[in-house]
Structure 1
Amino acid sequence: MKFHDKGFIFKYKDYTQVQIFNAGVAILDMKIYEDKVCKSTFKCQDIETFNNENLSSTYPKHFLKELFDKEGKEIIHRDNDNGVLIKIIRD
C-alpha cells in the first residue's frame, strides 16, 4: 500500500479509524481494532494476517493501532529491512 495524501485519524473507544483522501475521494478507509483491521476494499483481517501481507510478520500484534494512537505533530516509522515507511504529519 502506498499513499501520500491528506487524511484523518479518528480515535473511538473500540477502534481507530484512518481515512485518506485524494482530490476529495476516499482512497483508504481503515478501522483498526485490538484484534483485526477492516478496510473498505476487503473484509476484516486478523492483525497477524494484515501485518504479514502489508508490513512484516515480525511486527508486534498491536503495532499499527499504537502507531496511529500516538500523539505528536510528526510520527515517522522507517523499517528499511522490510521496505516500510509510515509518516504521519498532523496539521
Structure 2
Amino acid sequence: MKTPKLKFYDKGFISKYSNYTEVQILSAGTAVLKLKIYEDRICRDTFECQASRVFNEEYLNRNYDENFLKNLFESDKKEIIHRDKENGILIKIKKD
C-alpha cells in the first residue's frame, strides 16, 4: 500500500469478521499497520476511528467511494492491483 501519507510494502493478514474487516501489515514479524474497516468508519491503531469518507480524504483522495477500502479488502480475487497515478496511490493485494 503506497499513498502520499501511507507507505507499507510488507506482508500481512486480512481477517473478515461479521461486522468489520481487519487488515494487519507486518514488518519483521511486528505489526506496522492495523486497520479495522467497518461499514461506515475505519479505525487505525494509532488514532481513533474516522468516518470512511474522512479517512479517504486524508489518506487516499476525496473522490474515492466511501466503501472503497472495504470493498477492496473484502474482494474474493486472489490478486488486486489498484493504481491511481494521478493521486500517487498504489495498492497491491496478493492472497495465498
Relative to the length of structure 1, the TM-score reads 0.97
> Match for residue 47 of structure 2?
42
> Match for residue 59 of structure 2?
54
Structure 1, unaligned runs of 5 or more? none
Aligned length: 91
Higher relative contact order (CA 8 A, sep 6+): 2
Relative to the length of structure 2, the TM-score reads 0.92
1:15 aligns with 2:20: yes
> Match for residue 75 of structure 2?
70
2:72 is paired with a residue whose SS is helix
Q: Distance in 2 between matches of 1:71 and 1:47?
A: 21
Report the CA distance between 1:35 and its aligned residue.
Answer: 0.6
> Match for residue 3 of structure 2?
none
Q: Which amino acid aligns with 2:75?
A: K
Runs of 4+ in structure 1 over 4 Å off: none
1:83 aligns with 2:95: no
Structure 2, unaligned runs of 5 or more? 1-5
Q: Which amino acid aligns with 1:39?
A: R
Q: Which amino acid aligns with 2:9?
A: H
Note the aligned Cα RMSD (angstroms): 0.6
| Offset from partner CA, 1:60-91 (integer Å, 9 cap, x none) | 11111000001122101111111110000112
Q: Distance in 2 between matches of 1:7 and 1:74?
A: 14
